[in-house]
Amino acid sequence: MAPLSIVVITGMSGSGKSVALHALEDAGYYCVDNLPPELVGAFLELEREAETRQLAIAIDVRSASSLHMVPAQLRKLTDQGLEVELLFLDANTQTLVHRFSETRRRHPLSRPDAKDQHRALVDAIELERELLGELRERAHVIDTSLIRSAQLQGYVKSLISAPASQLTLVFESFAFKRGIPLDADFVFDVRMLPNPHYEPGLRALTGRDGPVIDYLRGHDAVARMLAHIQQFIGSWLDDLARDHRSYVTVAVGCTGGQHRSVYLAEALTRHFAANWITLTRHRELDALRG
């Protein structure tokens, strides 16, 4: 019988935890939202008796008084031989404020009696970041600030399909003009490389298209940048794996997130796929497809 697989989802209020849970439910997971940490052990025992094989548990700041219990609980489950993945959904403060204002929902930590409700909301978000800081450090982070629900669902499904016991490399392209991804462990700026955007025949294409690939391969600077990133990441992978990291996100950014960063993210994926589990995300391109 396959071991029990557990995905724990946490993160900022308004960052998309319900969307992630729906994705896991679609993937066959039995999902529970807002389970108090002190009940996790008892709940798992019940599900073991029921022979449930895939569980997803959402824990958030509504259980603030017992959040400190979660890291030790996760270590205990791992020591028992269970497959445990911790996903943290994040978004920048401006995005979270906009989402709460748009939906007219109250933040769980907000003070309804505050005179300045905008300031109270920002303060509540920053307090939540502080309370969830330790969990974020231990988790694979997904930045939902600029992605659609369909993108988030796709990202979650791709992550849970990778073997939990091995280090997974996530190569992500992005546009600097839309901000650096909050989920990046390493960020590489490739804006100094030749830009296909200024070639009329290439502007409408992407870094996945043959003419753009040929253009970028024809420049020594691009090859040198690719080699340097490969060397840097490759030299630290064994150390990261020994540190019991489940995921490492390498973000590559150019101006528009269409050509150079896409090409390099794809090339890095191909290079490391021979020896490591790899995933590719294109923040800007994926948004267009969604």
- The pLDDT tens digits for 218-267 are 999 999 999 999 999 999 999 998 887 889 999 999 999 999 999 999 99
Structural domains of the chain, count:
2
pLDDT at 85 over 70: yes
- Give the sign of the dihedral formed by CA 131, CA 29, CA 246, CA 46: positive
Q: Which residues of 195-205 are buried (b: 16+ CB within 10 A; e: fewer)?
A: bbbeeeebeeb
**Residues 33 and 149 occupy one common structural domain:** yes
Q: Which two tokens stand for residue 120?
A: 């109270």
**Residues 195 and 116 occupy one common structural domain:** no
Q: Which residue has the tokens 């094989």?
A: 53
pLDDT at 25 over 90: yes
What mean pLDDT do residues 28-45 have? 87
Please report the pLDDT score of residue 127 as a whole number: 93
Please report the pLDDT score of residue 142 as a whole number: 95
pLDDT single digits (tens) 131-142: 999 999 989 999
**Residues 183 and 132 occupy one common structural domain:** no
What mean pLDDT do residues 207-217 have? 98
- Where is 252: in which H helix or E strand? strand 247-254
**Residues 137 and 212 occupy one common structural domain:** no
- From residue 239, give the alpha-carbon distance in Å to each of 79, 205, 267: 21, 38, 23
Please report the pLDDT score of residue 128 as a whole number: 94
**Residues 154 and 214 occupy one common structural domain:** no
Instruction: Give the whole-number percent of the chain exceeding pLDDT 90.
Output: 67
**Residues 138 and 16 occupy one common structural domain:** yes
pLDDT at 288 over 80: no
Max alpha carbon distance in the chain (Å)? Answer: 63
pLDDT at 110 over 90: no
Q: Give which of 122, 78, 83 is closest to 100, Cα–Cα.
A: 122
pLDDT at 4 over 90: no
Which among 136, 161, 186 is the end of a domain? Answer: 161
Which among 125, 142, 161 is the end of a domain? Answer: 161
Instruction: Give the whole-number percent of the chain exceeding pLDDT 70.
Output: 98
pLDDT range class, residue 1, cuts 50, 70, 90: low
**Residues 10 and 33 occupy one common structural domain:** yes
- From residue 77, give the alpha-carbon distance in Å to each of 15, 45, 83, 120, 147: 26, 11, 8, 37, 32
What mean pLDDT do residues 87-97 have? 96
**Residues 143 and 186 occupy one common structural domain:** no
φ, ψ of residue 141 in degrees (nearest 5): -95, 135
The count of C-alpha atoms lying within 13 angstroms of the C-alpha of 288, restricted to the half-sphere facing its C-beta, is 11
Q: Which two tokens stand for residue 259?
A: 């050509």
The vertex-44 CA angle with 76 and 164, nearest 5°, equals 60
Please report the pLDDT score of residue 290 as a whole number: 54
**Residues 110 and 12 occupy one common structural domain:** yes
Please report the pLDDT score of residue 65 as a whole number: 76
**Residues 45 and 153 occupy one common structural domain:** yes
Residue numbers of the domain that contains 42: 5-161
What mean pLDDT do residues 144-156 have? 93
Give the separation between CA 288 and CA 283, rounded to whole angstroms.
Answer: 9
What mean pLDDT do residues 48-73 have? 83
pLDDT at 165 over 70: no
**Residues 248 and 114 occupy one common structural domain:** no
pLDDT at 175 over 80: yes
pLDDT at 75 over 90: no
pLDDT at 64 over 80: no
**Residues 135 and 200 occupy one common structural domain:** no
pLDDT at 34 over 70: yes
Which among 161, 184, 207 is the end of a domain? Answer: 161
Task: Kindly report the average pLDDT of the chain as a whole number.
Answer: 91
CATH of the domain at 133: 3.40.50.300
Give the separation between CA 186 and CA 251, rounded to whole angstroms.
Answer: 6
Please report the pLDDT score of residue 210 as a whole number: 98
Please report the pLDDT score of residue 138 as a whole number: 87
